[in-house]
Amino acid sequence: MNLKKKKYQKVIRLKKKFKFTDFDLITNYGLFSGDTNLFKTLTIFDLISKTSSVKGDIIELGIHRGNTSLLIKKILSIFKIKKKLYLLDHFKGLIHYNKDDTKRSKVFRNQYIGDKKQIQAFLNFFKFKNVEIIDKDATTLKPGFFKNKKFSLAYFDMDLYVPTLRALESIDRNISVGGIIVFDEGHHKLWSERFAIRDFLKKNKKYKKIFIDKKRQPDVILKKIKN
């Protein structure tokens, strides 16, 4: 049993012991949210704030169930930041393994399959607009795919080497100077986003690599410093 699951079970025991309802569980964020979730929320808020005046919209690549997607959209909505949100996924889970991916990660093959209808249902529930879902396999992306779009913030959570590298190569010209590419697991040893970042930076000197936190997610950003 992993550490996250153990912590979850302890929280559930506290919920039952003190007779919290499911509604209480959702609304008492300060009580029940762990440091991992809170760190992610605060970090994404900080990155959106820092890039709010940078030209361009926001894109997330690899959206799974849409947790980060809805978090980003809620922050944009609450603080009235007028940026469109693009969400890219092929909704087939982890399938594009190759020699650059770690052996340990291969137990997750065909997992993390998202559901486009579920994500759209949540967007509809919260009455969110100015969101576009792009049903596209990241390994087929090429420079020019995003045409004349500009992005101030791109959130990468594709885990594997080929999808991450192809997406980086395709989106490079669309990231505004001062814009940020943030990685959910850009330093994590289980996944190979870090290898894609390494190989992308070998050919690209426009970015400054910055570690956010080596033990939490998101963990790495690339800040574009020149065209």
Average pLDDT of the residues in 71-82: 97
Q: Does the pLDDT at position 167 exceed 50? A: yes
Residues 6+ apart with CB under 8 A from 2: none
Ordered by where they begin, the domains of the chain are: 1-32 (no CATH), 34-224 (3.40.50.150)
- As given in the structure block, the two tokens for residue 118 are 């579920």
pTM reported for the whole predicted model: 0.94
What phi, psi does 79 have (nearest 5°)? -100, 10
Question: What average pLDDT does the chain have?
Answer: 94
Rounded CA-CA distance 225/207 in Å is 6
Q: Is the pLDDT of residue 57 over 50?
A: yes
Type and span of the H or E element at 225:
none
Per-residue model confidence as pLDDT tens digits over 128-154:
999 999 999 999 999 999 999 999 999
Whether residue 3 is predicted with pLDDT greater than 70 in this model: the reply is no
Task: Check whether the bond before 143 is cis (ω within 30° of 0).
Answer: no
Residue 1: predicted pLDDT: 46
Give bridge partners of residue 154 from the DSSP assignment.
59, 181
At what angle are helices 116-125 and 67-78 packed, to 10 degrees? Answer: 20
- Which helix (DSSP H) or strand (DSSP E) does residue 22 occupy? helix 22-27
Determine the pLDDT at residue 97: 95
**Looking at the chain, how many residues does it have?**
227
Q: Which of 136, 227, 217, 130 is nearest to 177 (CA)?
A: 227
User: Hunting for tokens 């065209």 — which residue is that?
Assistant: 227
The whole-number average pLDDT for the span 181-200 is: 96
The residue to which tokens 């919920």 are assigned: 15
* Whether pLDDT at 227 is above 60: yes
Burial of 189 (0-12, 13-18, 19+ CB in 10 A): exposed
